[in-house]
Structures are given as C-alpha cells and as structure tokens.
C-alpha cells in the first residue's frame, strides 16, 4: 500500500510539473483553428521573435505620393499611400507593411516600385488604421490588436478602390508578407501576381486552390519563425492545391531586406528585390 501511495504521489508531481511548464508560441505551436494571419500575430508573444526585431532606424520620406482614403465593406474608412501611374492604368501593385505599420520606409519602397514600373499604380495599404510603431513592443501590441475581419475589410476596400477592371499584384514583408498572400486570395480572378517576403504562408489547401496566380516566396534560412520547415510545408501545400510557388531562401535572418533593420543585408536585399521586380513586371506586363 505504501508503494502504491508513493507511485501516485510521484505521478501527481510529474503531472503538476508538466501542467506548469510554460509553452512557447511559435508558428508551428498554435491552436489548430488559428488562421495563418492569427498564427503570425501570436508570434508577438514570443520573446525570441520580438527580440529578433531591432527598432527601425530613423528615416523621413519626402518623395512623391499622397495619402488616400477609401470606403471599406464594414462601413468604415481605409487608408493608404498611393503613387499613381503617369498615364491612366488599371494595373495596381498593393504594398503591405511590416509589423511596424505604414511608416516612411514602406512609402519609400512603394515609391521605388512606382519608379521602376511607371505604368503601374502603387498603393501601400495601411492595415493599422493610421498607427505606426517605433519599438518592437509597440509593434507586437499593434500586430496582436488587429482583428482579421477588419484587416480583410481594408484589403477588400483597397481592391474596390482600384476598381472592377483592375489587375492586382501584391508584395509585402514580414506581417505584410502573409497579408500579400491573403490579398492575392481575396483578389480572386483580378489577381495576377503575389510576392511574399518571409511572411506566414496560408496552410489551408482549400483556400490555396482558389489562387488565380502563382506566388514568389522570398525567405530567410536563419528565420526561426518562418523557418525552412514552414517554407517546405508551404511548397507541399501549394503542390497539393495544384498551384505554382517559386521559393528562394537566403542565408540570412528574418527581415534581412528591411533597410531600417540594423541587420539589413544590402547584397541579399538587392538580389531579392530584383527577383521581385522581374516577377512583378512579367505578371503586370509593366
């Protein structure tokens, strides 16, 4: 009897220890029902992920472009930063922000694409409704505060703003990389291209089957959140959906292509940008 009681006590102690063990949120440890965008937002609770993002270096954009507003399907107003094509055009590139928000670096990237593709309207979409973070903690809180329904409404509002005859392509980094793919899914038959930099891929094969374009994925081999394993699974899911994805993995860390990141790798970023530009020009016939 004494041995039995000791066994029960030991089992209880082990069970209690396991129950109290902290769980680390990651892109792979998440509720089964979490969407791709919700899964990425969960990373804001992961201190390793947050610690991997240094605060952006100061920068002020002074080039062309203007802030615009558009109606969203939820009855609210969406915002963006637009650089119109010099000539009337029904071709649109939607640019999606990193987790910092629509800051001046994103405006600069939008302007760069606009200069390189003069026949394309470029619209940087504000998924944070005007809020911008300057520290990793602020960015994490903003990213976690975003409601999927609201973000979807903003994306749809931007697409309605472009018009029913417009052709859509999208590009985004980090948080915006995942939303670039979601934008492509939401764009339906108007979608002609999608570039995602180290963003959370969609895992639902049924959703991926609705894609109207292929995808260019630019990822980082040393990324512990959007890891090579996550990327490999994305490739498998796209194959299962009967869709094409072209993947390029760089020997770099997450956010290597962000010039505001102290860990920015210019050589690799330039290569990634050239790949993205070549792809977008081909898809938009720009």
SS3 content of the chain, % helix, strand, coil (to 5): 45, 20, 40
CA distance linking residue 82 with residue 78, whole number of Å: 13
Convert the pLDDT of each residue in 159-180 to its tens digit: 999 999 999 999 999 999 999 9
pLDDT attached to residue 51: 62
Strand-pair category, 91-96 with 167-173: parallel
d(CA 150, CA 79): 12
Closest C-alpha to 268, from 279, 277, 284, 256: 256
- The two tokens of residue 87 are 């000539």
C-alpha 245 chain-centroid distance: 16
Structure tokens at 45: 């609770």
Q: How many domains does the chain have?
A: 1
pLDDT at position 37 is: 76
How many Cα atoms within 13 Å fall on the side-chain side of residue 285? 5
Q: In this structure, what CATH number is given to the domain that contains residue 24?
A: 3.40.50.1820
Give this prediction's pTM: 0.86
pLDDT of residue 18: 39
Which residue range(s) make up the domain with 140? Answer: 2-284
Whether 168 contacts 181, CB under 8 Å: no
What are the tens digits of pLDDT across the range 116-161?
A: 999 999 999 999 999 999 999 999 999 999 999 999 999 999 999 9
78-97 pLDDT, tens digit each: 999 999 999 999 999 999 99
Per-residue pLDDT tens digits of the chain, which is 286 residues long = 444 444 334 443 334 333 333 333 333 334 344 688 777 777 777 766 766 678 888 899 999 999 999 999 999 999 999 999 999 999 999 999 999 999 999 999 999 999 999 999 999 999 999 999 999 999 999 999 999 999 999 999 999 999 999 999 999 999 999 999 999 999 999 999 999 999 999 999 999 999 999 999 999 999 999 999 999 999 999 999 999 999 999 999 999 999 888 889 999 999 999 999 999 999 999 9
């Amino acid at each position: 009897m004494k041995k039995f009681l000791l066994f029960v006590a030991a089992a209880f102690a082990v069970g209690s220890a396991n129950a109290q063990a902290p769980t680390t949120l990651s892109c792979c440890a998440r509720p089964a029902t979490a969407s791709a965008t919700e899964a990425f937002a969960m990373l804001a609770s992961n201190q390793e992920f947050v610690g991997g993002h240094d605060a952006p270096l100061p920068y002020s954009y002074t080039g062309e472009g203007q802030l615009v507003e558009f109606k969203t399907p939820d009855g609210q107003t969406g915002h963006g930063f637009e650089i119109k094509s010099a000539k009337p055009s029904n071709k649109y590139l939607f640019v999606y922000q990193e987790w910092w928000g629509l800051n001046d670096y994103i405006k600069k990237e939008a302007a760069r694409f606009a200069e390189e593709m003069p026949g394309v309207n470029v619209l940087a979409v504000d998924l944070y409704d005007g809020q911008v973070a300057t520290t990793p903690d602020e960015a994490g809180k903003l990213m976690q505060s975003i409601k999927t329904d609201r973000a979807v409404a903003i994306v749809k509002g931007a697409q309605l703003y472009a018009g029913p005859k417009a052709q859509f392509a999208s590009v985004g980094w980090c948080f915006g990389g995942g939303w670039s793919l979601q934008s492509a899914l939401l764009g339906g038959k108007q979608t002609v291209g999608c570039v995602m930099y180290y963003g959370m891929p969609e895992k639902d094969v049924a959703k991926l089957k609705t894609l109207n374009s292929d995808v260019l994925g630019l990822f980082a081999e040393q990324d512990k959140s959007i890891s090579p394993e996550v990327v490999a699974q994305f490739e498998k899911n796209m194959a299962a959906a009967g869709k094409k994805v072209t993947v390029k993995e760089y020997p770099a860390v997450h956010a290597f292509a962000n010039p505001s990141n102290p860990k920015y790798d210019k050589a690799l970023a330039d290569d990634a940008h050239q790949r993205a530009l070549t792809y977008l020009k081909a898809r938009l016939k720009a």
